[in-house]
Structure 1
Amino acid sequence: MRAVVVDEQELVRSGFSMILEAQPDIEVVAEASDGAQAVAAVRAHNPDVLLLDIRMPGMDGLEAARQVCASSECRVVMLTTFDLDEYVYEALYAGASGFLLKDVRRDDLVHAVRVAAGGDSLLAPSVTRRLVADLVRQQRRRAQEPAPGRSSGLAVLTTREEETLRLLARGLSNAEIATTLYVSEHTVKTHVSNVLTKLGLRDRVQAVIRAYEEGLVIPGETGEGEGAAAPSRE
């Protein structure tokens, strides 16, 4: 898999590049120090993954992510020093597949690139908590809480696809969703793919955001009882 590493600090990007280049299945095809260079590198090299610093002079990582996600299939993983970065929510909406803190462990960095290249999404746990907290605040600002039950915004989904989205938003893996719904992992992958396609979403991160926005998942719910779902007859 091919990667581009972008950070305004030379030591940071060269360090990340060295870690990735040491892997037999990863090639760093370019490095860059700002957003404009990042966009140009993606156009020139067509990488699978872009590791992108969120705070840079000139064009920042947020604008670079917007442009890259809008014009290519490259997966964008944002790099940040602060887990409370105010751009987290907006960058996810722009299409970023996840966030990593810059003090990430070597193995976790490599894992993140592989996960992103495989089409999945990732977030540091602290970033996930902030994302959910933002969604809670947005819900509280609304004049009326979402009505329980099926949301009109999700009407294009089948009942089983909506169940899959609910469990996905609660952080369950495909294997855990399969166990809960008494279906195979292959079936879960099909449901997840259908959810993304029908709702026009780029990846699982945006699916989680949509689930909270639609009131499908209420922050603070534990999900107890989900395992009692009736077996599917698919």
Structure 2
Amino acid sequence: MFLQHLTDEDAIISAIYVGADGFLLKKLKGDQFISCIRDVIENEIVFSGEVSRILSKHIMERQFNKREILENSLQNSSLELSNREIDIAVLMVEGFSNKHIAQRLFLSEGTIKNYISGIYQTFGIHNRKQLISCFRQLLDKN
């Protein structure tokens, strides 16, 4: 668990990458601090509100960057996907199931399956694992 006086985004992200189970700011009251320590001892992951906000922002930026990188790589590879297909591709790379992609994009699971079928045709692939591998290769190009 990390305890810090100021909110330093780089320090927070670094702590997460090295496996921190908690990241708290020193402005916590004593009883809150003790409660957080107990939670970490019980294998809970604990972040103060400000740290949670920073992590959420970081995740959203990372998601946006993946979309932008994939979009650019597709253009450079002369492959065309619609904006919605790119959204689905990014979520597939993140490991989301069709059901969870549908929930995330407020579409039906059947609609997601139709989009994925179209993506399979564009890439000439009929296997989800191979398709995700292609997406990862495109993401790694940049």
Structure 1 or 2, whichever has the larger Rg, is 2
Normalising by structure 2, we get a TM-score of: 0.49
The structure whose RCO (Cα within 8 Å, separation 6+) is larger is 2
Higher share in helix = 2
